[in-house]
Amino acid sequence: MSVLSGKKILLGISGGIAAYKTAHLVRLLIKAGAHVQVVMSPASLHFVTPLTLATLSKRPVYSTFYDEEDEKGLWNNHVELGLWGDLMLIAPATANTLSKMANGTCDNLLIATYLSAKCPVYFAPAMDLDMYKHPSTLESFHKLEAFGNIIIPAENGELASGLSGEGRLAEPENIVAFLEKDLLRQLPLKGKKIMVTAGPTYEAIDPVRFIGNHSSGKMGFDIALQAANRGAEVVLISGPTHLQIDHALVTVVPVVSAQEMYDACHQYYNTMDVAIAAAAVADYRPKNKAPQKIKKDDATLSLTLEKTADILASLGKQKTHQFLIGFALETENEIENATLKIQKKNLDLIVLNSLNDEGAGFAQPTNKVTFIDRNFTIEPMELKSKEAVAFDIVTKIIQHYEA
């Protein structure tokens, strides 16, 4: 999954021949998971049709302050558009449009939206060689960069005039790559490595049957996705689950048993900055696994169980620099038991769940947690979606590194 996933992108298109490339650009942004709102200058309508871009973006395309053919005369509010975007991209940005941006010449909806934008603004120039090198154009570049706008440099190549040189609009793939790289650079967990465990473990009784639990793995998967979306490289060690995750910064390591999860955790732990043990690991496993399916001959079946290795405790013992987060699922004496777990397992933070809270626990889309840190500061949270809880957990990690 791209870092652009879920981002609201205002795409401003000005009137140059390179506007024909914006259909492909919109397609790539949508494919990356972004929401794209196209705003066109009047001149750009000669080069690419609003119908094409509206079809690809699945949103109406705006180019005027109001639609003269609309009997209701609804105003296309440039302020609302400017506030909507997480980022604004102007591509192609012609010399004319760049000059208007630099000098506040607000004579169309695109420039009005630009002047109203509260988000980061990127611009990708496109013009002929001599125009690109002209002092007035260079002055526009300098002014816009002084405003905090970010230039996506033009490329060298064949130009519409037949000349070859600098001024060609960056290829759509390169524009998307530039945005992704720049956004990743700004993310708070950029450069951090985080290990997350998720899901249940299955402890085999025989080749067919196992001891397990009802964990879906959703909490761990949501944490992994939130951490990756904020720039971290994530190793997600997951027990059996139907869940999937598609993100360039997430590596999924599938395991089945508690021992396999233990081995995988210790394989990666030393290189991690953070470890989050969200998996519901079996505490016991059958001492002896039957080599063949056990026949249903007797009225009862006795199993001898043995303890599995305590993954979280072993990570706590080996901790050097890692920020270690554990989970506690309790049904009684919740705070007391969770506090003891912090001490016994050398944790920095514990996320307490109580099965006594409605909407919390396994197989639920929601969770109600209490954060307890190593100083025993207790912070109860409201009932939230598991995605929102995951966001809060990752925010705790960010706060730790900002402290």
Interatomic CA distance for residues 176 and 181, integer angstroms: 9
CA 263 to chain centre: 28
Task: Encode the chain (403 residues) as per-residue pLDDT tens digits.
Answer: 678 888 999 999 999 999 999 999 999 999 999 999 999 999 999 999 999 999 999 999 999 887 666 555 566 778 888 889 999 999 999 999 999 999 999 999 999 999 999 999 999 999 999 999 999 999 999 999 999 999 999 999 988 888 888 999 999 999 999 999 999 888 999 999 999 999 999 999 999 999 999 899 999 999 999 999 899 999 999 999 999 998 888 999 999 999 999 999 999 999 999 999 999 999 999 999 999 999 888 788 899 999 999 999 999 999 999 999 999 987 788 899 999 999 999 999 999 987 666 766 666 778 889 999 999 999 999 999 999 999 999 999 999 998 7
Interatomic CA distance for residues 2 and 228, integer angstroms: 10
**End-to-end alpha-carbon separation of the chain, Å?**
30
Strands 369-373 and 349-354: antiparallel
Q: Given 3-state DSSP classes, what are the helix, strand and coil percentages for the chain, each rounded to the nearest 5?
A: 35, 25, 40
The string of pLDDT tens digits covering residues 254-309 is 999 999 999 999 999 999 999 999 999 999 999 999 999 998 887 888 999 999 99
- The pLDDT value recorded for residue 331 is 72
Does domain 8-186 fall into CATH 3.30.420.40? no
**Cis ω on the peptide bond leading into residue 92 (within 30° of 0)?**
yes
Which residue is it, tokens 């010399």? 95
Q: E strand or H helix at 203, and its extent?
A: strand 203-204
The string of pLDDT tens digits covering residues 194-244 is 999 999 999 999 999 999 998 999 999 999 999 998 999 999 999 999 999
Interatomic CA distance for residues 75 and 111, integer angstroms: 16
Structure tokens given for 328: 């506690």
Domains 8-186 and 193-293+304-402 share a fold: yes
CATH T-level fold of 193-293+304-402: Rossmann fold (3.40.50)
- The pLDDT value recorded for residue 69 is 62
Interatomic CA distance for residues 26 and 34, integer angstroms: 9
Residue 332 region by backbone torsions, left for phi larger than 0, else alpha for psi between -120 and 50, else beta: beta
Interatomic CA distance for residues 208 and 215, integer angstroms: 20
**The overall pTM is greater than 0.75:** no
The structural domains of the chain, with segments of one domain joined by +, span 8-186, 193-293+304-402
Interatomic CA distance for residues 143 and 360, integer angstroms: 53
Q: Which of 213, 270, 353, 356 is catalytic?
A: 213
Q: Verify whether residue 213 is a known catalytic residue.
A: yes
